[in-house]
Chains A and B, each alone.
Chain A
Amino acid sequence: MASLHITRVKREFREVVSSEEAQKSQIKIEIIDESDLTKLKGTVIGPPDTPFEGGTYILDIRIPDTYPFNPPKVKFVTKIWHPNISSVTGAICLDILKDQWAAAMTLRTVLLSIQALLQAAEPDDPQDAVVAKQYKGDPELYRKTAKHWAQTYAGAPKTTDDAEISAKIDTLLQMGITETKAREALSTHSWNLEAAVDSLFT
């Protein structure tokens, strides 16, 4: 008989596939390698009325041997600008993935909780302090940045075309900075070109 964590993964995989949310293609789960069920690929769609709307977010899911008594390890592969998710590593700060995990939870509940996190950020419990500061201090700029990231990395539909943003990134590109680094530096410094340049060259 297969060990408990594998049995669970198989069952939960079926649960996600047949779930109502998956039918509406809100969440998705895929097996990367049939012989290794401890590595999974999850997908959540950015919920409506958020800067992430329409974006497709890929998640890296690792199942520990002690699953389901310990939580799965989940992180974002797709880059995202969100107070509870690291803009650099994709690490997620979510209680149920840490001490609030309960063995009765499933991959479906995990994916739905992550989607809920995209809908309602918790800036008081931040993973990425820079984003959280911006979220609280300048919500408009946060939305703009998050949307820009969603359009760039998560394939969210381009509803606005921000020429100013592109121009600033282009300026940095000409200085020999990679696009990812340029975007990170500009986002971190509230799209202030001078501050971004300073941070990159000191």
Chain B
Amino acid sequence: MAFDSQESQTSSVGDYYESEEEEEDDYKYFEEEDLMEDSETFSKENSDPEWYEHSCMPSQEVWSIIKKEVCQLSQDLQVTDPIARLLLYSTKWDKSLAVSKFNGDKNQFFIDAHIHPSKPKRQPLEPCTECPICFSSDDANYQLYCGHSFCCDCWISYIISKLERGVSLGIECMDCDVLMGFEVIDTLLVKRSSVIRRYYQLALSQIVESHPLLRWCPGRDCDMVFAVKEPLPKRIQCTHCNLATCFQCGEEYHSPTDCESFKNWLLKCRDDSETAHYITSNTKDCPKCSSAIEKNGGCNHIRCTKCSFDFCWMCLSAWAKHNNEYYACSRYQADPDVMKAKVTKAREALKKYIFYFERWDNHHKSLLLEEETRFKIQTRIKEQVSNGEGTWIDWQYLLDAADLLRKCRYTLKYTYPRAYWMIGDKKHLFEYQQAQLELEIENLSWKVERATITDRADLERQMAVTEIRRVTLLRDFKHY
């Protein structure tokens, strides 16, 4: 049954193409390309611009990735695993860089990687029984590869003090800048399992943060890690908490807007939205210096506190022109002067922002409502099924439609920040496609809400059209 419903959906997509000749060409073109390409990756990326190869794993699995990378490097360079790990840590897990540096000035590389001390030892250390830190000779001393030797208790206290400050992989010798490898930590902390656990916890989080191909899931209290093959500003979705984010910046997924514009947009929204609304509804701009002025009572004679310009609140022209009309302005402005143009410019910028913000915000709210719609559909399906009209599976397409609607609206929402920062000729095309998508989404939304009473084929056609609009927009306006 499920298979049936799937099939009928694909056939309706086909129907749609037959009715639209232009689109059909497109479709064939992509199909041909798909066939030509052997690589699965390439074809997937072509048919779905949002497709991104990534895996999501519990954080502990990162250790096996790291272990593999370290093993590979240690074999290639014929060094020990601890050394290979320190080398990779210094090149931020870039293996080819590590190999090329190793083949270049190896000595310098070892100094850069804090395997060899950057400065020669201050004095040759004689084997002494007394620990130079606590001056006791009761404990056995432990010597690091740099030759500096301290008692185990001091080493442990030192490691703990570093962990308290959030340092783990970067813990150096107590007397020089040589890094302490895992094997040193393991040896020293062999009896302190809670400290060792803390160390590896911090080390793991530091590794994920510094590794270009790994990222923590930004979900609250989520312990999952994403691994990708190539760092791109594309969609990753957590298999545990379901949150969809952007791999590059870790913010919510924001295609087709690029990371930087999106960040600016969020910043602008945080800073400006409430203020901007207040300003538009309650203030006017000074005709001379364009500062926003709020009239808090009194007469229409306003003096700007910034530039001391006297003007009339009603007509926004100089007060001096008003002669005796103190309390009401009846001056009719036949030709607005230059000052007015300046005022308009400042207002225009604000208006532009509000325009985009309102649309962004509107789709955001609609998205929340779509959740409700989905819930309502579920109840409706239940009713239908209990009334004996079809089975649950027969009505499954309604949920698919609701999901698609949500997906499309999500993309549409994130087109607004992009449009806001966009300039030039491309903007026309972008806004045209955006409008098209908007239109189809509204149609879809209307049909989804009345889904049980309208024609199923019609709804499925609408779904296909909307999805094509969405994919086309994403493909035509790649943000990376």
Chain A residues proximal to chain B, CB less than 8 Å = 4, 7-8, 11, 66, 68-70, 102-104
Contacts and interface: CB of A to CB of B under 8 A. Distances in A.
A199 B372 CA distance: 63
30 contacts: A4-B133, A4-B134, A4-B154, A4-B157, A7-B134, A7-B135, A8-B133, A8-B134, A11-B135, A66-B161, A68-B133, A69-B158, A69-B161, A69-B162, A69-B174, A70-B161, A102-B172, A102-B173, A102-B174, A102-B175, A102-B176, A103-B133, A103-B150, A103-B158, A103-B175, A104-B132, A104-B133, A104-B150, A104-B174, A104-B175
Contacts of A104: 132-133, 148, 150, 174-175
Nearest to B158: A69
Given A4-B133, A69-B158, 12 more contacts: A7-B135, A8-B134, A11-B135, A69-B157, A102-B174, A102-B176, A103-B133, A103-B150, A103-B175, A104-B133, A104-B148, A104-B150
Nearest to B148: A104
Contacts of A68: 133
B435 to A, nearest CB: 53
Contacts of B173: 102
Nearest to A1: B136
Contacts of B148: 104
A8 B134 CA distance: 7
Contacts of B133: 4, 8, 68, 103-104
Contacts of A11: 135
Contacts of B172: 102
Interface residues of B, number: 16
Contacts of A103: 133, 150, 154, 158, 174-175
Contacts of B161: 66, 69-70
Contacts of B135: 7-8, 11
Interface of chain A, main secondary structure = loop
In this complex, which of A7, A70, A103 has the most chain B Cβ atoms within 10 angstroms of its Cβ?
A103
10 nearest A-B residue pairs (beta carbon): A69-B161, A104-B175, A103-B174, A69-B158, A66-B161, A102-B175, A104-B174, A4-B134, A103-B133, A104-B132
Contacts of A66: 161
Nearest to B164: A66
B170 to A, nearest CB: 10
B62 to A, nearest CB: 27
Contacts of B157: 4, 69
Nearest to A103: B174
Nearest to B159: A69
A70 B174 CA distance: 11
A36 B150 CA distance: 27
A66 B162 CA distance: 10
A68 B158 CA distance: 9
Contacts of B154: 4, 103
B185 to A, nearest CB: 16
B468 to A, nearest CB: 56
A7 B157 CA distance: 15
Interface in B87-136: 132-135
A103 B161 CA distance: 11
B198 to A, nearest CB: 16
A70 B148 CA distance: 18
Nearest to A11: B135
Nearest to A101: B174
Interface in B37-78: none
Contacts of B132: 104
Nearest to B162: A69
A70 B162 CA distance: 9
Contacts of B162: 69
A65 to B, nearest CB: 10
Contacts of A69: 157-158, 161-162, 174
B453 to A, nearest CB: 70
A170 to B, nearest CB: 41
A189 B174 CA distance: 44
A104 B135 CA distance: 11
Nearest to A66: B161
A7 B162 CA distance: 21
A141 to B, nearest CB: 36
A70 B133 CA distance: 12
Contacts of A4: 133-134, 154, 157
A103 B175 CA distance: 7
A66 B161 CA distance: 7
Interface string B199-222: 000000000000000000000000
Nearest to A69: B161
A1 to B, nearest CB: 9
A104 B121 CA distance: 12
Contacts of A70: 161
Interface in B126-182: 132-135, 148, 150, 154, 157-158, 161-162, 172-176
A68 B162 CA distance: 12
A119 to B, nearest CB: 20
In this complex, which of A8, A68, A70 has the most chain B Cβ atoms within 10 angstroms of its Cβ?
A68
A167 B260 CA distance: 57
